[in-house]
Amino acid sequence: MATLFRFSLRLLPVSAAVTCRSTRFPVSRPDSSFSLNRNLYHFSSSSSLKTKAGWLLGLGDNNKKKKVDLPDIVAAGDPVLHEKAREVDPEEIGSERIQKIIDDMVKVMRLAPGVGLAAPQIGVPLRIIVLEDTREYISYAPKEETFAQNRRPFDLTVMVNPELKASSDKKALFFEGCLSVDGFRAVVERYLEVVVTGYDRKGKRIQVNASGWQARILQHECDHLDGNLYVDKMIPRTFRIVDNLDLPLAEGCPKLGPQ
């Protein structure tokens, strides 16, 4: 919550996948050119905001993005991904600038395709996230995986200045991945139930009560707003390249699933 190696793998949260078996899709690689996404929004920041990769991997060719005036997805190492994002003034949510950022985030997420995106991932250090999981996306994953992940479709959700709290002590371990750390996966422990409050794109206060995979996506995306990638919370010995996802976990690693 983010190229669907099967949406369970690249949606980590697309997030994250329990396993990867046989299906493999090509991964679009970033080109060598950099762009300053802040120029699209007349936005200034202490961060470099240089971009050349992305978060929730897509089935499509990244060349398609070049035909559309959309920002690239930022790769790990850019300060914007490792610094705490700033809150949006509620009075500014309805402005043309913030609305364009939200529109671009939704388009980039769907083009990837992915199930979630945070504003820092397009080089904008503001506390905005978007997420969406569809029946089509879920259909790419084996039913036993989506069942274990408690993964269900949900409509497009836009949250500005989200505040997340666990609503249960129950946790689960599943693989997660991120296009900002392209080509790798690791197991991350997440709460199974969370409540998130914030503003919608119209500036109205909203609350989202989420469980299962949606809760994982929300945690993954909110982590981005605090400058954290999944690798900052992973179980180190589970870290691996995508091609090794079929291999068993090392001895001593915890089992996947609810704890």
Residues that are catalytic? 221
> Quick count: other Cβ atoms within 10 Å of Cβ 181?
21
List the Cα angle 87/217/190 in 5-degree steps: 105
Tokens of 116: 């979630």
Cα–Cα distance for residue pair 8/4, rounded to 1 Å:
7
Residue showing tokens 């199974």: 192
Tokens of 33: 């050119």
Cα–Cα distance for residue pair 121/106, rounded to 1 Å:
12
Task: Please tell me the number of Cα atoms within 13 Å of 180 on its side-chain side.
Answer: 34
What ranges in the chain are assigned the alpha helix state H? 7-10, 38-41, 96-111, 135-139, 143-149, 212-225
